[in-house]
Amino acid sequence: MRAAIGGDSAAYHTLLQSLSNVLRPSVRRGFAQAGAPLADVEDVVQETLLALHLKRNTWDPSQPLGPWVRAIARHKLIDALRRRGRRVQIPIDSVLDTLSVAEDSSGVDRQDAERLVEGLAGRQRDVVRAVSLEGQSIREVAERLNMKEVAVRVALHRGLKTLGAQHRKDQDE
Amino acid sequence: MKTNDLINAIAADAKAPGMPIATTVWIGAGIGVVVTGLLFWLMLPVRPDMQAALGDWHFLMKWVFSLTLLLTGLVLAISLARPQWAPNSTLLLLLGAPIVLGIGVVADMIALPSDAWMPTMVGTAPFACLFYVPLLSGLPLALMLLALRQGAPAHPALAGAVAGIIATGIAATFYATHCQNDSPLFLAAWYIMATLIVASVGALLGARLLRW
């Protein structure tokens, strides 16, 4: 995280990758305990990663990273379960079914969380798409979309912010 | 979007790290002091006996009280802005200003005859205090909420209330130089009430605005 805050993309990538692997089972456990369908686990993992990124100014580098990450993950988990609570309640039997299926195939909660990228429009969408789905570098995207690199960076950052605020809109509906 | 794709996007955004939240909160308070000072200067005159007041412990007590509010509020706000904060002993900071004031109240009650307690507490302009202190708190409250939005408070309403306490601390520091009621008894009644009003507004706003 220290390297990432210093702007080291590669180190940040590795960190996020390993954090997502730690977060996934713990979010899944939270969902199972609350009796929520596991299909949305990946949504919460993604929301947590976004929050870690957008709120990394609240981590004090002199403090250990673990408690900070756990606090954000818990916040996002509770938030998601609360949102769910306001929606349809699913009978416990079907949850148990999902649970057993999910235990068998690890693929179930790894499915695409499509909801996230839908909320973006225009340039932000193009840039986030290009960087994430196509794995292009900032410079490549800038050349292809005929934008300045700075503009690409700004659009990417704004796009991620929009994604981070996404679930709150769902909540207010 | 697959999580791996999202990670690509986030890692590409590694640059531009935000300013640490503690710095944001301090800057917010700094700007709050400047704008509140300007507004005060435009609205209200400084009391004519300011020179004399500076030598009187009653007056200085007002500043000790309001600055205690301000500083304890700031320390608490910075802890609250971090997601891992859970209710703990830092909450005792909230007692700082009331304790300071309590000492002043006792001292003044000893100094004054008991039939003077009530008129001293009511003072000469209690409602002006209840009007101007919350009014002057408006801008710094907005600034503190803005600063705390950059944070990740796990308890948004509490964080909002603390933003209100900081704002009152700033407002009361300036208003103290206009208001001629200096007794801690007056402070205990009216400044505290003003603080509670602003803190409540802060809590209500915080519950909405400080969610993340």
Residue A106 · residue A120 · CB < 8 Å: no
The pLDDT value recorded for residue A108 is 45
Location of structure tokens 């009187």: B56
Percent of chain B with pLDDT over 70: 98
The pLDDT value recorded for residue A3 is 67
Residues of A with CB below 8 A from B17's CB? 5-7, 56-57
Alpha-helical (H) ranges within chain A are 2-5, 9-34, 41-54, 65-86, 92-104, 115-118, 122-132, 138-144, 149-172
The pLDDT value recorded for residue A80 is 85
* Non-local CB neighbours of A91 within 8 Å, separated by 6+ positions: none
Residue B115 in contact with partner chain A when CB distance is under 8 A: no
Give average pLDDT by consecutive 10-residue segment, chain A, 173 residues: 71 87 88 80 86 89 88 89 65 50 43 59 78 76 81 83 73 49
The pLDDT value recorded for residue A169 is 62
Tens-place pLDDT, residues B54-64: 888 888 888 99
pLDDT, greater one: B142 or B59: B142
Domain membership flag for residue B97: yes
Location of structure tokens 């790290």: B17
Tens-place pLDDT, residues B170-182: 999 999 999 888 8
The three-point CA angle B181-B185-B188 to 5° equals 100
Domain membership flag for residue B143: yes
Q: B159 φ, ψ to 5°?
A: -60, -40
The pLDDT value recorded for residue B25 is 95
* Non-local CB neighbours of B51 within 8 Å, separated by 6+ positions: none
- Rounded-to-integer distance, Cα B176 and Cα B59, Å: 8
- Closest CB from B5, B9, B154 relative to A160: B9
pLDDT surpassing 80 at residue B36: yes
Q: pTM to 2 decimals?
A: 0.83
B82 to chain A: nearest residue by CA?
Answer: A58
* A46–B6 CB contact, under 8 Å: yes
Domain membership flag for residue B152: yes
pLDDT surpassing 50 at residue B70: yes
* Non-local CB neighbours of B79 within 8 Å, separated by 6+ positions: B85, B90
The pLDDT value recorded for residue B81 is 94
The pLDDT value recorded for residue B75 is 95
Minimal CA–CA distance to A24: which of A88, A111, A146?
A111
* A55–B81 CB contact, under 8 Å: no
pLDDT, greater one: B185 or B40: B40
Residues of B with CB below 8 A from A13's CB? 7-8, 11
What is the least distance, in Å, from the CA of A123 to any CA of chain B?
A: 14
- Rounded-to-integer distance, Cα B139 and Cα B28, Å: 11
- Closest CB from A10, A58, A138 relative to B151: A58
Domain membership flag for residue B1: no
Side-chain-side CA neighbours of residue B147 (13 Å) = 31
The pLDDT value recorded for residue B173 is 94
Domain membership flag for residue B14: no
* A13–B8 CB contact, under 8 Å: yes
Residue B210 · residue B85 · CB < 8 Å: no
ipTM score over 0.85, yes or no: no
Domain membership flag for residue B197: yes
pLDDT, greater one: B152 or A34: B152
Query: What total of structural domains would you count in chain B?
Result: 1
- Rounded-to-integer distance, Cα B204 and Cα B60, Å: 32
pLDDT surpassing 50 at residue B118: yes
Burial class (CB in 10 A: 0-12, 13-18, 19+), B97: buried
The pLDDT value recorded for residue A122 is 78
Domain that residue B135 falls in: 21-209
Alpha-helical (H) ranges within B150-191 are 156-175, 184-186
Domain membership flag for residue B8: no
What is the least distance, in Å, from the CA of A148 to any CA of chain B?
A: 15
* A67–B2 CB contact, under 8 Å: no
Domain membership flag for residue B55: yes
CA A100 vs CA A42, B29, B145, B166: distances in Å: 17, 53, 45, 52
Mean pLDDT computed over every residue of chain B: 89
The pLDDT value recorded for residue A28 is 87
Tens-place pLDDT, residues B19-34: 899 999 999 999 999 9
